[in-house]
Amino acid sequence: MPAKIIESNSAPFTAQTIDPVTLEVIENALRNARVEMDATLVRTAMSPGIREQGDAFPLIADHKGRMIVGQFGSFIDGFLRGYDGTVEEGDMFLMSDPYSVEGAISHSNDWMVLLPVYRGGRLLAYTAMFGHQSDIGGKVVGSMPIDAHSIFEEGVRIPPVKIYSKGEYNADLIRLVMHQSRKADWCSADLNALIAACRVAARRVQEMADRFGEDTYVAATGELLARNRRAMKHLIATSIGEEPVSFQDYICDDGMGFGPYRIRCSMWREGEKVILDFDGTDPQSPAAINFYLNENMFKMFFGIYMIMVFDPQILFNDGFYDLIEVRIPQGSLLKPNYPAALSGRTHALGRIFDILGGLLGQKTPQFLNAAGFSSSPHLFFSGTDGEGRWFQLFQIGFGGIPGRPLGDGPDGHSLWPGFTNVPNEFLERYFPLIIERYETVADSGGAGLHRGGNGIHMTYRFTEPGTIAIHDDRWFTKPWGVNGGRPGARARKVLEKADGTSQIIGNKLENVAVEAGDRLHFITWGGGGWGDPLQRDPELVAKEVRQGLVTVEGARAYGVVIVDGAVDIEATAQLRSTMPAADPAAIFDFGGEVEALRAACEAETGLPAPRQPIWTRHAVAAE
């Protein structure tokens, strides 16, 4: 039964024609309100993941729940379909259970606050903010167990509930929820920050309605949606063909020894509508790497990618959703059956962006990015220090961003453009560890006319015993290069014990004991390269050798010989004459087929390559 919206004034909004100046003012006011939501959040939250890294995403929607400004697209239609209750003035909602909102929240660590905005008895808008909570209970510290086989192992699940009902705060409910967390102080502060951000945006919307009138404000939001639809309709007609194109990529493993897991998507246009079909994606995993992909979220991913490639000035919002149809097979890795575990969905979430690039670039390779939006590396470190105080760190690491048509990929940057790193000084001040190294990994970015971004080598020395967990990917498959560019280097993790012994360890591990004096070398992947490396300016290669971004040996991948920090012009010309030019017909370079990668990966890492995925056995057993 859908939600029932209660309004004391149900008069419809009057349609109006909006002049360009008013529309521009309202558009930019909404953009600024979104920025103010972020600023309010990071100044109020306590957890490093939100306060320092910005792992939170705002949304301002119209009175029908369609996103006007935001990042992940609106979940509100799914909420309204699934919530069996009323929406009234003074209400505010909290939710975190992916299965209760059709996957609009993709794992239970993300807490979503939703505030319906009323004025004069009429529902005028919605504001919402979600942020990643560092701990919500469950079987492991951080609430993201790699080996979870159901969502019940991943901590408290919150269906859509009212934390404010007609203005009255439900303190007992919040007390119950906070009781599940190992870091209730962080969770409580972060929840208050989410609430504050939503209230700030609501005030800005009401101020706009005060200034321009409710009808004008609503008409402006409608025009912003319509303008986005017109722009996307044009981009789709000129950029997407009727002949289907397909692309596939892989999640390396599930942390249980099985993999890789294939994600496949096909795309074509039927009339003015784009079809995106994930038929061929592998069945859901018995472990936690499943990603419950909400169709509207993927539509927004698609739209953002199109806009950023072809016309970055367009305000992305929900206006174009009827131009896209997303088909995701039930029971697949991207639409698992309840109660499949979901906490490790980050790897598939990151891989979706690589797949979008591979799909959209096949018709126009000149606009194609290489791979590198490949994961979101996590480190967890927890324990009790010498004074008996509990400590708990959740940190998101950075990798190499792919080479692009317009230039090199940034070195050591986040998958999410708005994220920042946790300052090393913050880590050393609040946690029992020392950061001994924080630098890019030379040669880890794929060679190309435009080099892939290098990964990061971060060395933690622990000063107290504790337990660590690692969540990362791209240690088996490589971030692929395009248009002659070479793949980026794999991720790698090395645990160096205090006695000097060391070993390469896995990229998805839970409950690893460390002692004081142990070091963890956390090394992330590099981005794939773009374009023929032999076309790169030798002087630029020499400069990057001097900067430590490329080694003397690595310069030879560009056909460049470096002697005493300078280009040896004659030797470079001779070397380049012996190297084959990139094949223009070979758009992608994956570094080899999946099966061929197994032996190379084992030789490079010393780790066993992932085995035949276990889903085949589960499918047989289910039948």
What is the bridge-based pairing of β-strands 67-70 and 56-62? antiparallel
Domain identity same for 38 and 156: yes
Q: Are residues 67 and 86 in the same domain?
A: yes
The pLDDT of residue 308 is above 80 = no
Distance from CA of residue 438 to its chain's centroid? 22
Cα–Cα distance, 409 to 397 (Å, whole number)? 17
The domain boundary, picked from 190, 206, 231, lies at: 231
Q: Say whether pLDDT at 621 is over 70.
A: no
Of 480, 263, 443, nearest to 369 by C-alpha is 480
Tokens encoding 188: 């409580």
Q: How far apart are CA 66 and CA 30, in angstroms?
A: 14
Q: Are 155 and 177 in contact (CB under 8 A)?
A: no
Is 272 within the bounds of a domain?
Answer: no
The answer to whether the CB of 188 falls within 8 A of the CB of 178 is yes
pLDDT at 619: 44
Contact present, 194 and 131 (Cβ < 8 Å)? yes
Assign 3-class secondary structure to 533-599.
HHHCCHHHHHHHHHHCCCCCCHHHHHCCCEECCEECHHHHHHHHHHCCCCCCCCCEECCCCHHHHHH
* 549 and 461 assigned to the same domain: no
pLDDT at 617 exceeding the cut of 60: no
Residue 623 has pLDDT above 50, yes or no: no
Distance of CA 117 to the CA centre of its chain: 28
pLDDT: which is higher, 528 or 616: 528
User: Does the pLDDT of residue 305 top 80, yes or no?
Assistant: no
Question: Do 443 and 547 sit in the same domain of this protein?
Answer: no
Same domain, 554 and 429: no
Q: How many other CB atoms are found less than 10 A from the CB of residue 184? A: 14
φ, ψ of residue 503 to 5 degrees: the values are -150, 145
Find the mean pLDDT for residues 171-189. 96
Q: Which of 430, 344, 332 is nearest to 390 (CA)?
A: 430
295 in any annotated domain = no
Q: Are 124 and 63 in contact (CB under 8 A)?
A: yes
Angstrom distances, CA of residue 590 to CA of 244, 490, 567, 593: 21, 12, 30, 7
Per the structure block, which two tokens stand in for 535? 């076309």
* Residues 21 and 140 placed together within one structural domain of the fold: yes
What's the mean pLDDT in 20-49?
Answer: 94
Q: How many CB atoms are closer than 10 A to CB 186? A: 23
3-class DSSP state for residue 511?
A: strand
Q: Does 209 reside within a domain?
A: yes
Reply yes or no on whether the pLDDT at 313 is more than 90: no
pLDDT, one tens digit per residue, over 118-163 is 999 999 999 999 999 999 999 999 999 999 999 999 999 999 999 9
SS3 (DSSP) at 313: coil
Average pLDDT rounded to a whole number, residues 284-304 = 91
Identify whether 411 is part of a domain.
yes
Domain boundary among 210, 231, 252: 231
CB 208 within 8 A of CB 217: yes
In a domain? residue 62? yes
- What is the pLDDT, as a whole number, of residue 614? 59
What are the tens digits of pLDDT across the range 539-582?
999 999 999 999 999 999 999 999 999 999 999 999 999 999 88
3 confidence band (pLDDT: 50, 70, 90): confident
Looking at 178, 205, 231, which one is the last position of a domain?
231
Could you tell me if 560 and 524 lie in one domain? no
Q: Which of 303-312, 358-367, 608-617 has the lowest mean pLDDT?
A: 608-617
Q: What percent of the chain has pLDDT over 90?
A: 74
Question: Which structure tokens are listed for 240?
Answer: 């997407």
Average pLDDT rounded to a whole number, residues 334-345: 96
Residue 59 has pLDDT above 70, yes or no: yes
* pLDDT higher than threshold 70 for residue 208: yes
Same domain, 71 and 193: yes
Beta strands 273-277 and 433-440 are unpaired
The answer on pLDDT for 618 being more than 50 is: no
Tell me, what's the pLDDT at 357?
A: 86
69 and 49 in a single domain? The answer is yes
- Please check the confidence at residue 620 and state whether its pLDDT lies above 60: no
Q: Pick from 384, 382, 379, 383: which is nearest to 398 by CA?
A: 379
Q: What is the rounded distance in angstroms from the CA atom of residue 456 to the CA atom of residue 433?
A: 18
Two structure tokens written together for 416: 């999410």
Q: What pLDDT, in 10s, does the model give residues 158-169?
A: 999 999 999 999
What confidence tens digit (pLDDT) does each residue in 398-439 have?
899 999 998 999 998 876 667 788 899 999 999 999 999 999
Residue 360 falls inside a structural domain: no
d(CA 81, CA 85): 10
Q: Is residue 109 part of a domain?
A: yes
Q: Are residues 396 and 418 in the same domain?
A: yes
Which range, of 355-369, 418-432, 510-524, 575-589, averages the lowest pLDDT?
355-369
Q: What residue numbers bound the domain in which 547 lies? A: 538-581
- Kindly state whether residue 68 falls inside one of the protein's structural domains: yes
Is 551 in the same domain as 419? no
Total domains in the chain come to 3
Domain match, 86 and 144 both? yes
> Which of the 8 DSSP states describes residue 487?
P
Task: Count the Cβ atoms, other than its own, within 10 Å of residue 257.
Answer: 14
Report the SS3 class of residue 98. helix
**Average predicted confidence (pLDDT) for the chain:** 92
Is the pLDDT at 354 greater than 50? The verdict is yes
User: 123 vs 10, 118, 205, 403, CA distance in Å?
Assistant: 9, 4, 12, 45
